[in-house]
Amino acid sequence: MTLDWERMNRRERLLVNKLMEALIGSQTLPELVHSTEDILSQLVSADCLALCASKLGQPSRDDWLVAKMPAVYFAHYAEWKKDDLIRDANLKQPNVVLRDTEIIGRAELESSAVYRFGHDMGVPLEQVMSVYLTEAGWEGNGGFSAYRMKRQPFSSRERDLLQHITPMLSKTIQKCRVFVERELMERLLENQPEGQKPAFLVMAAPADEVKRTGPVAGLIRKWFSPSECDASGMPQVLLKKLAFLVGHASSLDTGTDCWERHGAEETLRVTFIQLPRVDGQAYWQLRFQEVTHPLLTSWLKKLTPKEAEIANFLVQGLTDKEIAQKTHKELGTVKKQLGSIYDKLKDDGVDSRTSFIARALLPRAKKD
């Protein structure tokens, strides 16, 4: 139950008032934890605290922030999440504060994998009081846990105090997430060329997808086979490129880099843009753009069907030997047809493999 204002003593009212002021003034989760950790610790007599909120764009994954306890504990949360009996109970009763004594017996708690993991990590959490937070109209969720490192169960009064401030805590977590999302979108719009239909991914370093626009899904399906993508549908070659850039971000002169895949008449260009940090998190925008090759298109009309086939492989960067394998021709035949191609295109400045590829890939951005 909730502890009414009239039933609180003077100390509790003072702490709740301070807490409300801190919640109102917080715009990001780190600010929220920093401004409330001492107040919450005093209010419910906790040794340490943990707050979580679902990741932007990924409601099923959590960001954890801790106070007065090692961050390493929740850094490995994915490893023991499935064994978290306290979490399972909280999920069944959202927005209701529960104490460990109401969820699990002492012997069962001490034999649990989560309890042993905490002791192994040097975080002997003996008592816990927690709540799973949801808010109408918010696709995300959050959570709050108070811990004691000694065997002294949280009282029903402490539970009721936490229940009293739970609605405001839930709304504040939602507010912080909305604030960060809006700030991030403003940064994205600043980096979006005027007049272009946006086609981009937003990634939280190192590899968490936050947002994507509709056109991106179609472009990925067009340019990448399923075997080239991971379980989430993200092209692995782009993830590797991003991982490299994240590790070398300080050496990028402009904060941008480019990756391209060449097709017969088009090139897919993915521009990696390092965005300003938001709420302490590094973000990258991956902007997708298809570029047409006007010269190549006109050249193919001058060639025979067999020469056009070879030209399409040539523009993809294949060697003479690779082209011969692809077309099931003798290497000498391929070389002869390449010579014929260069001769037909000499008036366009083509006299070799290098000049063919360089001029063929001169871009003209597709109009939306």
Domain CATH number, residue 175: 3.30.450.80
Last residue of a domain, one of 183, 213, 234: 183
| 31 and 164 fall within a common domain | yes
The per-residue pLDDT for range 120-130, each reduced to its tens digit, is 888 889 999 99
| 209 and 170 fall within a common domain | no
The per-residue pLDDT for range 158-211, each reduced to its tens digit, is 999 999 999 999 999 988 887 877 777 766 666 555 555 568 888 887 778 888
| 10 and 157 fall within a common domain | yes
| 46 and 177 fall within a common domain | yes
Residues sharing a CB contact under 8 Å with residue 350, sequence separation 6 or more, in sequence order: 341, 342, 356, 359
| 143 and 236 fall within a common domain | no
pTM above 0.75, yes or no: no
| 57 and 174 fall within a common domain | yes
Domain tally, the chain:
3
| 333 and 244 fall within a common domain | no
CA 258 distance to own-chain centroid: 20
| 94 and 179 fall within a common domain | yes
Last residue of a domain, one of 238, 260, 292: 292
The per-residue pLDDT for range 147-173, each reduced to its tens digit, is 999 999 999 999 999 999 999 999 999
Domain CATH number, residue 343: 1.10.10.10
Domain CATH number, residue 277: 3.30.450.20
| 168 and 311 fall within a common domain | no
Last residue of a domain, one of 183, 217, 246: 183
b vs e for 275-304, b when ≥16 Cβ sit within 10 Å of the residue's Cβ?
A: beebbebebbbbbbbbbbbebbeebbeebe
Q: 319 lies in which domain range?
A: 295-365
| 277 and 301 fall within a common domain | no
Q: Which residue has the higher pLDDT, 93 or 255?
A: 93
| 56 and 176 fall within a common domain | yes
| 301 and 220 fall within a common domain | no
What's the confidence (pLDDT) of residue 252? Answer: 61
What tokens were used for 62? 């959590």
Which of 8-22, 124-138, 265-279 has the least mean pLDDT? 265-279
